[in-house]
Structure 1
Amino acid sequence: MREKQVLQNRELKKLGLGGEVDLHVSEVPVEYQTVQSLVPSLWKKHHPLLVVHVGVSGMATTVTLEKCGRNHGYKGLDNSSFCPDSQCCIVGGPDCINSVIDMESVCKRVTSSGLGVAVSVSKDAGRYLCDFTYYTSLYLSHGRSAFVHVPPLGKPYSGEDLGRALQAIIQEMLELLDQAEEKIHCQQHFH
């Protein structure tokens, strides 16, 4: 899983996101405790406008945009044979946190762009490390995070296909964030 993940990250890095976007790519190990320390440190270090997590799912047949992260139900052991005693991400945190990004809108825009990669939307990131990472990131960022599940390489898409799809998806997400910011500025201006 990790090799495939790195390959897509490499493809995305090669493509970039346009001259105005500063893209940082980090690999997150499949370990609860590492997620709990690494994700906050990435937010502190980079102060990003948006964090987009990408994970490989053996069950995915499309590039899948996850709408939300869940706090409870983490019973599966990680790569270090560890599982949180509380079986949750943030003790006392809300059950579910939605991304501020409208995933249906991103899905429609990317699908209509004729990229040749199927994109869908999901409300369940799977209650394992992907979901755990997403919830942690959503909690820290007040929703300014996204999670994209991709199918394994060659089932049916190549690394290049997935790189192009991620580029298009993230560009749409940034565009939507821009529009939301403008709307907020306008509303503040007229009050």
Structure 2
Amino acid sequence: LASSSKAIIILEQCGKNKGYKEMDVCGFCPEDGCCLLDGPEKIESTINMKTLWKNISVEGIDIVFSRDAGRYICDYTYYTSLYYGNGKAAFIHVPPLSKLVTADFLGKALQIIILEMLKQCGEKNEKGWFTED
């Protein structure tokens, strides 16, 4: 969850391997402060989040592009997903539900974002797994 006084969705582009110093809620902190001892410094998603960010808008909520998900459970999860998925992962920080951001509203915003992601994947996919029908 992205905490803010304003409703913001954050599209993350990459996960970083090092810099983890804080324990998560279960008391876990990665060994030597990195996700994978032999892993690359950072891993980019195959989804171009910057292009996605430029191509979409959702009335009533700000959408921002980011290259740093922080050094807590979010980035750790994203980095390991990118690593084991060969870059085929996406991470979106969402605001907490509130009177301004209802579950229905957030669901519709995420639907717009995910459909745009699938379009990108479809452009790269020779087997045609994605169609707009």
Give the shorter-chain TM-score range: 0.7 to 0.9
TM-score, structure 1 normalization: 0.61
Aligned partners of 1:155, 1:70: CA distance in 2, in Å? 34
- Tell me which residue corresponds to 1:127: 71
Q: Percent identity?
A: 46
The match for 1:176 among 112, 117, 120 is 120
Structure 2, unaligned runs of 5 or more: 127-133
Deviates more, 1:160-169 or 1:146-155: 146-155
Q: 1:91 aligns with which of 27, 37, 47?
A: 37
* Backbone CA RMSD of aligned residues: 1.7
For the residue of structure 2 that corresponds to 1:72, the secondary structure is coil
Give the partner amino acid of 1:157: V
Task: Report the Cα distance in structure 1 between the residues aligned to 2:118 and 2:19, rounded to whole angstroms.
Answer: 31
Q: Alignment partner of 2:32: what SS? A: coil
Q: Tell me the alpha carbon deviations over residues 7-38 of structure 1, each in whole angstroms, 9 at most, x when there is no partner.
A: xxxxxxxxxxxxxxxxxxxxxxxxxxxxxxxx
Tell me, yes or no, if the aligned pair for 1:76 and 1:128 is still in contact at 8 Å.
yes
Q: 1:102 aligns with which of 48, 65, 90?
A: 48
Could you tell me which of 28, 38, 62 is aligned with 1:118?
62
Residue 79 (structure 1) shift: 1.5
Divergent runs of 4+, >6 A: none
Tell me which residue corresponds to 1:157.
101
Structure 1 residues without counterparts, runs of 5 or longer: 1-55, 183-191
The aligned residue for residue 14 of structure 2 is: 68
Give the structure with the higher percent helix.
1
Write the deviation string for residues 27-85 of structure 1: whole angstroms up to 9, x where unpaired.
xxxxxxxxxxxxxxxxxxxxxxxxxxxxx121474111001001001111112222122
The offset of 1:119, in angstroms, is 1.1
Distance 2:40 2:65 in 1: 22
CA positional deviation for 1:108: 2.3
Looking at structure 1, the residues matched to 64 and 125 of structure 2 have their Cα atoms a distance apart, in angstroms, of 25
TM-score (norm 2): 0.85
CA distance in 1, matches of 2:17, 2:99: 30
* 58-67 or 98-107, larger mean C-alpha shift: 58-67
Does residue 57 of structure 1 match 2:19? no
**Deviation at residue 146 of structure 1 after TM alignment:** 0.5
